Amino acid sequence: MFERVKTPCVGICSTGIGDQVCRGCKRFAHEVIHWNGYTQEQKRLIARRLEGFLVQVVSNKLQIVDRGQLLASMRHQQIGFREEQDPYCWVFDLLKAGASQIQDLSVYGLAYQRQWQGVPLAQIKAEIDQDFYVLSSAHYDRYFSMVPEDDA
């Protein structure tokens, strides 16, 4: 039996001000509106899409060197995360919990991708969030936008 899919809502919804992609959870406005009416399978599909986008943008900036060490550190620091998700999602949860307080990524079993070495983690967190939003927006524009190709 599958575990129920929890809402990806992070309490920062921008769909109420007209955004087609929420700047908080990165779901589409229609997904936010209809979430409670979706089946678990529909919710799972949305969760997988969001997880895939997040894994892509986090792994472009940071790498997991030791998954076990990351898991142990997340538990020890009592950082909220969903263990069933890809560990790169845990990394984003870690950064949201305290990017400015982390001095040594190796303590968490992490390392910078070469081109991101020396960039403050708070900036990396902001870049990840922005890239996540851009990917979700591009997906929405490609598959859900109602603008006919001739009018674009």
Domain ranges, ordered by start, for the chain: 15-130
pLDDT value of residue 44 = 95
Cα 129 to Cα 59: distance, rounded to the nearest angstrom:
13
Chain segment 104-140, per-residue pLDDT in tens: 999 999 999 999 999 999 999 999 999 999 999 999 9
pLDDT value of residue 145 = 80
At which residue do the structure tokens 């990394």 appear? 91
Q: State which amino acid sits at residue 94.
A: L
Look up residue 53 and give its two tokens: 């986008």
Low-confidence ranges of the chain (pLDDT < 70): 1-2, 146-152
Q: What is the pTM of this model?
A: 0.90
Sign of CA pseudo-dihedral 48, 114, 73, 79: negative
Collapsing DSSP states into helix, strand and coil, what is residue 21?
Answer: strand
pLDDT value of residue 129 = 97
Cα 29 to Cα 16: distance, rounded to the nearest angstrom:
8
pLDDT value of residue 151 = 47
